[in-house]
Structure 1
Amino acid sequence: MVYAQGALCHRLARGSVPPDGRVRVTGLPRSLDPGSLRARVLGSPGVRVTEARVEVQALAHDEAAPDGLRREVERLREAYAAAAGRRDRQLGLIAEVGGLRPVPPGRKREDPHRRTPVDAWLELADFVDERLAGLHARLAELEQALLDAEHELDIAADRYERASTDAPSAHLDTTVSALLTLAGPADAEVELDLEYGVPGAVWVPAYRLTHRQGDDTGRLVLRASVAQRTGEDWTGVRVALATADLRRRTDLPRLRSVRIGRRQSAPAPSGWREPPAGLSDLFSGYAAAGPRPESGAAGRAVGGAAGAPVAGGVPESARYDEVPPPPSVGYGGPVPPPPPSVGYGGPPPPAPQAFGAPPPAPGGAYHSGPTRPAGRPRAGGPAFAGTPAPALAPAAPGAPGAAAPPPPPVAGPPRPSGTELDYAALVLSGPDEPGGRRGRLFPASPFDAVTAEYRRRAEAVAALPLPGHAVRPRESAGSFDHRFDAAARADVPSDGTWHTVTVAEIPVGLRTEYLCVPSVEPTVYATLVLSNATDQALLAGPVEVTVDGDFLLTAALPTLAPGGVRRVGLGPAEGVRVTRRTNLRESTSGLRNNITVLDHHVHVELANRLARPVTVEVRERVPVTSEPDVRIEERAGWTAPAEGGPEHHAPGTRLWRVDLPAGGTTALDGGYEIRIPAGKALVGGNRRS
């Protein structure tokens, strides 16, 4: 199932249940979402899945397809260089033979003149011609061989660049496996369905419309341009397309009660447990042993042994970076007073409010630890549950640099987030961590560096340039989500390029109409009126129009809801002609000739030179006004468009609909009168068409 961005894959595995009930399914993509793995048993009611988790292993693999393609490119590059060398040597031979010239022997001053041996000259010319003819024939063969080698090299290089990312390019591969635990009778034949989500898959709709003139129906084939770089090739898979967002939120908002009356303590969050007693004394012996000795010159340059004096008279062990954060509220027992700030002139400033976060509550807000001065990193990481922020009191009179001690923290249960309550993703900190983290659970990073790189490359397909007239599914679907199932299996390699997948054939209603606006342009345009008679929406995208077996053009199809009607332009129709003439007559009326009458007459002629009858819609315009002194009176002959139709018309639009037989002509007459006070005139002049 390919969504607007990302995909949900189903993988089937068949086999028998081992005695211990543990099954490993290998070959999953490295970029899969670890929290999206789901497994179920199909067709075996006595067997069920009790546990499913993801594991990454390093395995040696055989020579893969990209390595073979790379070797092929290198071989063809060497063959091309050898062919170029042979061609160059042949050119050298041709230049050498072409430089042969007869050289007469030197003559002494006392020797008489001698006659030139013409036969020798002719024999040399014949030899050079014969030799050059053979060399040029060989040169033509070498140049053709060079062109063939260059063509093969270009094809192989292009194939190597477009090679799938399914096969790795290193000799050590990391394979992702799903470890399943099955509960049921041993040796039972089962079929497992694994479901997991992957990023790096996008799709856009496309269409192919086949129409025959004179028919009221056509064939509209829905196709999809699919691109994916998930790390696995989709070979012979059933593809479904959806416009929904795979990463949309599905958790419901939590509405808390608002109580008026006596204060009540907040209930403990579900899933939270008190930390074990004596956790702070568990690592006392480890801390008493002192810090580990520094190794190498780098360790000596940092600060030497613990407790050595540093600049400013502050011992290295008392630096702000080495002060461990206070224990967590939820998993470390009581909260100690805030650590002293040594060497920085007073307590640290309050923590800045995070972007989009609510302001901290007085005396009881939770944050990730003590605030550090600017430019000084804090040792360790964020605590599992926050610690109360110390409140700063105003300085006492006469002591501008002093501050009152912070008030005691407000006791109460912590408020861990959903990430902190995900016990499967928590990591236990070891003894080498700072004192505030030892023996506690903290959320681990969901992806390592290699997996993050795989996911970054997979998500790069979202930036692919779209085909012509293509629209993203989320933009064209609007507030509704739709699903389209492909009728046949398809192959989509993991190469990050667009591939066309045929989805289904959609029955639509078609009729050909001709449209013209002669006041703007004296051209008649052919249009296809497309009506969606199905219960599924047609998303916006490019449509290839074929009329009577001949490809006509590629147009943009707008979003067509079930039962909707839209026009698709086919371009100018040379077989239908239109001519427009206008006539304006200005006069006065009224008892004292105080009204100016502008009488506009419009004459339109249509001629059908096609061998079939056509329906032509002629659009004209009538002025509209909001002035109480201006009146517009129309002559009969045209009609106003219906309100609420599939098309939007500008105010004042009038329509003629005419059925023309083959080779027929017709004339249309219409007009309107503009009545204005005699002392006024239209902007731009009264005498206008």
Structure 2
Amino acid sequence: MTADTAPRWGSTLDSVVVYAQGALCHRLARGLVPPDGRVRVTGLPRTLDPGSLRARVLGAPGVRVTEARVEVEAPGADDGGAPDALRHEVERLRDAYAAAEGRRDRQLGLIAEVRGLHPVPPGRKRDDPHRRTPVDAWLELADFVDERLTALHARLAELERALLDAEHELTVAADRLDRASTDTPAAHVNTTVSALLTLAGTPDTTDSADAEVRLDLEYGVPGAVWVPAYRLTHRQGDDTGRLVLRASVAQRTGEDWTGVRIALATADLRRRTDLPRLRSVRIGRRQAAPAPSGWREPPAGLSDLFAGYAAAKPRPTPRAAAGRRAGGAPGSPAGSAAAGGAVPEDAVYGEVPPPPSVGYGGPVPPPPPEPQGFGAAPPVPGGAYGFGPAQPGAAPRAAAPSFTGAPAPAAMAPSAPAAPGRAAPPPPPPVAGPPQPSGDELDYTALVLSGPDEPGGRRGRLFPSSPYDAVAAEYRRRAEAVASLRLPGHAVRPRESAGSFDHRFDAAARADVPSDGTWHTVTVTEIPVGLRTEYLCVPSVEQTVYATLVLSNATDQALLAGPVEVTVDDEFLLTTALPTLAPGGVRRVGLGPAEGIRVTRRTNLRESTAGLRNNITVLDHHVRVELANLLARPVTVEVRERVPVASEADVRIEERAGWTAPADGAGSEQHAPGTRVRRVELPAGGTTALDGGYEIRIPAGKALVGGNRRS
């Protein structure tokens, strides 16, 4: 059984972990293992990252996965998908809109023609007498034009209404197509992705022939983002509340998440987790750097291993164009040799060697072929895996893949023409020394072994290869567009609010998230929080009392910043922003002005002098804050004032008793310097007055020129 005839196992998406950007998916598949152990699991999305595929066997200790590969198939056209139907509908409506627009334009042309009808008197010679104007004919023409224009304008109104309806239908259909799920590919050729697995072992059961094996496939996909959202329910007078964590999830991964277990993580899926390499620093005589572990030169005579495969493979007849590209015109010796003689190996597999350099004295003979076999010379630095500059005098080989887009140095450097009547200079000798692998050659996870169908210079060697082709790159570009979606109100990216710690939240129930690139709300879990209602006012800034909810997080998970819908006594109050609340942290959430509590602030300034020579100016500030509770329940009000902060040691500030400085610490609210706080309990319908103030003592030498500031 070959890979093409391997049994196909259907798979079902079971769980998804959505990270800050991207997601990690788990698919389950089951079936009977064939004798050769090769199975093909279908249903994978086109945006799958091939390097992230992992497969393991569930519930069968005697069976293990020995090989896992990602393959892309094109079974044929598929015209029955929902996006194709929507696309056909959009095309039909676009044609209908164009037809309606054409009818409207023709009607406008008819109206312009009729509007241009007007009487034209015949020309009169100088000696001819004046003619009488045919008023009846003029009136008949005017009546005809008016009647005709009335009918044409009535028809124009109908055509314009039909055009508006067609435009509306086209806009709606285009919007539906744009928002349609990407689970069904948009291409006419339905390319599918499958995982080709090789299983080894036998299930530890009594009847192993009929025992099914369960597989768990894990892979990463781009195009998924999420932001947290909350719903807070609170009853006045109660010290607890219900905080429901919800998430706005948007994904365009190419597959619909239907009935899957969703988990949300704040970690970065693309962050590298490999350990850094720490190189030792040696003091003393310089020593050569040791060769990196795990790297070795390819064995000599590697190309001889594929001689039998190349001989058994049918060799296509080279085209005359290949001969012209290799040697020149069809009538030239080089062209006839390439067409009728031995065909170079590179030309057989789709590559044509570059033309030889031509000097003024005639064509220069091509360089000798590269030696093959176990007596071959050592490769040049960086040329073990197909990289590095080509050896002078070596046969042309397959160009190594370039990640910077620049051509190889050998292809960029033009061949220098030889002097007239003089042969080309001999090539310089190869550089002696051990091979020096490049950084790309040491990236073992990105190296791909070239098969026997590759050109001769690549067979059996490792080359860095990009895991995505052009089609996959387009799918990834469309998927990653969800990262630029406009965030909901008060929403914050998880990486911005989580800080240096990562958290994970598991949804309590399965959910559905279609692959349409729009926000969908998913209920995650309910978080118990401590709540108490407090009122806050800063009368020196604004004589208004604001209601606040003081939240305390007693769980071991952080609450990320995001929008919160506040419901008090079963009535929706407002939507506000919830700050990041660490485990054990306490934060305030503002609820807006409290109309039932009044505050009034009065100040009194008295200036005097003190000291033996009255050389100290005393500025006595008296502050009185009056509070009145008009509510039917007792409340706690926190009043904040601010006293000046002296930067000079001689300027003293003496405060009156009763006001305290707030406690600034980790996890608490940050206050400005000089802030003073006073808390007061107000009964229902009660009033109170808070007295305070401060004295500023300014020596005469510290007084400002031209007077002191009094406020």
C-alpha distance after superposition, 1:546-598 (max 9, x if no partner): 33333333222111001111111122222222211111111111222121111
Aligned residue number for residue 242 of structure 1: 265
State the shift of 1:641 in Å. 0.8
Q: How many angstroms does 1:601 deviate by?
A: 0.6
Aligned-partner Cα distance in 2 for 1:639–1:432: 82
Does the 8 Å contact 1:272/1:421 carry over to 2? no
Change (3 A) 1:680 1:262: closer
Instruction: Name the CA shift for 1:685/1:538 in 2 (closer, same or farther; >3 Å).
Output: farther
TM-superposed CA distance for 1:73, in Å, is 3.1
Name the structure 1 match of 2:577: 556
> 1:204, 1:324 → 2: CA distance?
62
- 1:530 is aligned with what amino acid? L
Matched, 1:583 2:604: yes
In structure 1, what is the Cα distance between the partners aligned to 2:103 and 2:378?
83
Q: Which whole-Å CA distance do the structure 2 matches of 1:494 and 1:332 have between them?
A: 58
Residue among 172, 175, 197 paired with 2:192? 175
Q: Secondary structure at the match of 2:75?
A: strand
Q: Structure 1 531/76 Cα, relative in aligned 2: closer, same or farther at 3 Å?
A: same
**1:381 equivalent in structure 2:** 400
Task: Return the alpha-carbon distance in structure 1 between the equivalents of residues 262 and 43 of structure 2.
Answer: 20
Q: Does 1:491 align with 2:512?
A: yes
Given residue 299 of structure 2, which amino acid in structure 1 is its aligned partner?
Answer: P
Name which of 652, 671, 679 aligns with 1:649: 671
Matched letter for residue 248 of structure 1? R
Q: Does 1:369 align with 2:388?
A: yes
SS in structure 2 at match of 1:455? helix
Contact 1:16 1:187 in 2 (8 A): yes
Matching residue of 2:483: 462
Note the C-alpha offset of 1:675. 0.8
Q: In 1, distance between residues paired with 2:708 and 2:692?
A: 19
1:389 corresponds in structure 2 to none
Amino acid at match of 1:659: E
Letter in 2 for 1:216: D
Aligned residue number for residue 468 of structure 2: 447
Tell me, yes or no, if structure 1 residue 618 matches structure 2 residue 635: no
1:534 equivalent to 2:551? Answer no
- Unaligned 5+ runs, structure 2: 1-16, 112-146, 203-207, 311-317, 335-353, 404-427
CA shift digits 1:219-269 (9 cap, x unpaired): 222111111111111111111000111122222233455677999887765
Deviation at 1:170, TM superposition (A): 3.1
- Give the conservation status (yes or no) of the 8 Å contact 1:425–1:446: no
Deviations 1:412-457 (A, max 9, x none): 78687675545972225878566xx576432333222212222222
Structure 2 counterpart of 1:599: 620
Task: Name the structure 2 match of 1:66.
Answer: 83
Indicate how the Cα distance of structure 1 residues 309 and 335 shifts in structure 2: closer, same or farther if over 3 A, else same.
Answer: closer
Contact 1:584 1:687 in 2 (8 A): no
In the other structure, the counterpart of 1:355 is none
Counterpart AA for 2:570: G
Describe the shift of the 1:684–1:6 C-alpha distance in structure 2 as closer, same or farther (beyond 3 A). farther
Corresponding residue of 2:237: 214
- Separation in 2, partners of 1:281, 1:190: 41
Quote the Cα distance in structure 2 between the aligned partners of 1:630 and 1:486.
Answer: 60
The 5 Å alignment of 1:15-30 reads 15-30=31-46
Distance 1:281 1:82 in 2: 67
SS of residue matched to 1:171 = coil
Letter in 2 for 1:7: A
Contact preservation (8 Å) 1:383, 1:442: no
Q: Who is 2:28 aligned against?
A: 12
Query: TM-score, normalised on structure 1?
Result: 0.74
Task: Look up the match of 2:680.
Answer: 658
Q: What is the DSSP-based 3-state SS (H/G/I as helix, E as strand, rest coil) of the residue aligned with 2:191? A: strand
Q: 1:82 to 1:442 in 2, by over 3 A?
A: closer
Whether contact under 8 Å (1:420, 1:426) holds in the other structure is no
Cα deviation for residue 271 of structure 1 reads: 4.3
Separation (CA, whole Å) in 2 of partners of 1:262 and 1:88:
89
> Comparing 277-286 with 9-18, which one deviates more in the overlay?
277-286
SS in 1 for 2:18: coil
Structure 1: runs of 5+ lacking an equivalent: 95-127, 339-350, 352-365, 385-404
**TM-fit CA distance, 1:82:** 8.0
Structure 1 residues 518 and 685, CA gap change in structure 2 (3 angstroms): farther
* TM-aligned CA deviation for residue 8 of structure 1: 0.5
Task: Note if 1:201 corresponds to 2:224.
Answer: yes
User: Post-superposition shift, 1:664?
Assistant: 2.1
Kindly provide the CA deviation profile for residues 199-231 of structure 1, in whole angstroms up to 9, marking residues without a partner as x: 111111111222233322222221111111111
CA–CA distance in 1 between the matches of 2:365 and 2:32?
60
Q: How does 1:369-448 map to 2 (within 5 A)?
A: 369-370=388-389, 380-381=399-400, 409-411=432-434, 421-422=444-445, 425-428=448-451, 432=455, 440-448=461-469
Residue 663 of structure 1 aligns to a residue whose secondary structure is coil
Q: 2:529 aligns with which of 488, 502, 508?
A: 508
1:678 to 700, 705, 708: 700
Structure 1 counterpart SS, 2:620: strand
Please say if residues 427 and 444 of structure 1, whose CA atoms lie closer than 8 Å, have aligned partners that are also in contact.
Answer: no
Q: Relative to 1, partners in 2 of residues 1:665 and 1:378: Cα closer, same or farther, differing over 3 Å? A: farther
Paired AA for residue 12 in structure 1: L
Instruction: Label 1:454 to 1:260 Cα distance change in 2 as closer, same or farther (>3 A).
Output: same
Is 1:41 aligned to residue 57 of structure 2? yes
- Give the whole-Å Cα distance in 2 for the aligned partners of 1:439 and 1:22: 23
CA drift of 1:463 comes to 2.2
Identity of aligned residues (%): 80
1:79-158 equivalences under 5 Å are 152-158=169-175
Aligned 8 A contact 2:245 2:523 in 1: yes
Q: For 2:491, what is the secondary structure of its paired residue?
A: coil
Cα distance change of structure 1 residues 512 and 310 upon mapping to structure 2, 3 Å threshold:
same
Alpha-carbon separation, structure 2, partners of 1:467 and 1:323 = 68
SS in 1 for 2:268: coil
CA offsets 1:347-369 (integer angstroms, 9 cap, x no match): xxxx9xxxxxxxxxxxxxx9952
Separation (CA, whole Å) in 2 of partners of 1:67 and 1:80: 20
Give the conservation status (yes or no) of the 8 Å contact 1:476–1:559: yes
